[in-house]
Amino acid sequence: MDCSMNILVTGATGQLAKSIESITNVDSCFTFVGRDDFHITDKNEVDDYFASHDIDVVINCAAYTKVDLAEDEQEQAYDVNVNAVRYLAEAAESKEAEFYHVSTDFVFDGDLSVLYNELDKTNPLSVYGKTKLEGENVALQACSRTQIIRTSWLYSLYGNNFVKTIIRLATDRDKLTIVADQIGSPTNAENLARAILNMVFSEKKHFGEVYHYSDAGECSWYEFAKEIVELSDIECEVLPIPSVEYPQRAIRPKYSVMDKSKIVRDYGAEIIDWRESLRQVIKSL
């Protein structure tokens, strides 16, 4: 790994940053920062930090991701997903640094039944999705060396996520009912981390572009949960239900599977089947 660059990773305690940290063994390349270092929602703190550090690359893993709570905490979601992105991207531009910003499949409304590519119309249904889309636009406008990476249904060995929740619930209960009419692609955060680092260390860059990355294949939340329970060897019945029987504060896209051919073409990204990725994570839990 080329260590001639100083790489700043935000959201240090989150799944993606932890996954990046777990696969990078050259300490001097990377600095992982969280709230204890500086507040990304405070422009002065961001500017002060960048002014006093050599930074060549920023990987922004920080985000407000509480999809339902965002409907009520709109100001907080906007602050992290839009304002903080603007401050970080502007600071990166001032350093002539590269800016890699992670976004979401929730920028789409889910009305298509074919794979979403990067040129398809965005139409987020939730506050979370709207703030993430605005964050994309802000990043592209504020820093000339920006690349956006949209992902979906992220899980990992770290933090709280769907995989860990299902294992906990299935261990405690005899039966689970899971939504079966929302379709997407689960993504092992370690695979996403490798894809982003592959972009960072690539000799040829494609600034100003948006990319899609998730694991291969598609499933419903029900199918995802069923696979988690089976791979974990837990005795628990998993039953499908429609979304109307599990009302949530925020509207989710019905179908948000993304076309990954662009990131494969431009960066040679490896796309692993979601079941195989899930098997690897559960084996390590």
The answer to whether residue 105 is domain-embedded is yes
Residue 118, both tokens? 């990067």
The answer to whether residue 137 is domain-embedded is yes
pLDDT at 203 over 70: yes
123-157 residue pLDDT tens: 999 999 999 999 999 999 999 999 999 999 999 99
211-254 residue pLDDT tens: 999 999 999 999 999 999 999 999 999 999 999 998 899 999 99
Place of tokens 């304002």: 83
The pLDDT of residue 24 is: 87
If pLDDT is split at 50, 70 and 90, which confidence band does 2 have? low
Cα first-last separation, the chain:
27
Q: What is the 3-state secondary structure of the chain? A: CCCCCCEEEECCCCHHHHHHHHHCCCHHHEEEECCCCCCCCCHHHHHHHHHCCCCCEEEECCCCCCCCHHHCCHHHHHHHHHHHHHHHHHHHHHCCCEEEEEEEHHHCCCCCCCCECCCCCCCCCCHHHHHHHHHHHHHHHHCCCEEEEEECCEECCCCCCHHHHHHHHHHHCCEEEEECCCEECCEEHHHHHHHHHHHHCCCCCCCCEEEECCCECCEEHHHHHHHHHHHCCCCCEEEEECHHHCCCCCCCCCECCECCHHHHHHHCCCCCEHHHHHHHHHHHC
The answer to whether residue 223 is domain-embedded is no
Tell me the catalytic residues: 128
Question: Could you give the number of structural domains in the chain?
Answer: 1
12-64 residue pLDDT tens: 999 999 999 999 865 568 999 999 999 999 999 999 999 999 999 999 999 99
pLDDT at 1 over 90: no
The pLDDT of residue 3 is: 65
Say whether pTM exceeds 0.85: yes
Residue 154, both tokens? 């992220």
The answer to whether residue 233 is domain-embedded is no
The pLDDT of residue 26 is: 58
pLDDT at 270 over 60: yes
Question: Whose CA is closest to 169, among 234, 222, 219?
Answer: 234
The answer to whether residue 166 is domain-embedded is no
pLDDT at 80 over 60: yes
Domain that holds residue 99: 7-160+185-217+252-272
The answer to whether residue 165 is domain-embedded is no
How much is the average pLDDT of 95-119?
97
Eight-state DSSP code of residue 207:
T
Crossing angle of the two packed helices 274-284 and 221-231, in degrees rounded to 10: 40
State percent of the chain over pLDDT 70.
98
The pLDDT of residue 25 is: 67
For residue 200, the domain's CATH number is 3.40.50.720
The answer to whether residue 262 is domain-embedded is yes
The answer to whether residue 149 is domain-embedded is yes
Q: What is the mean pLDDT of the chain?
A: 96
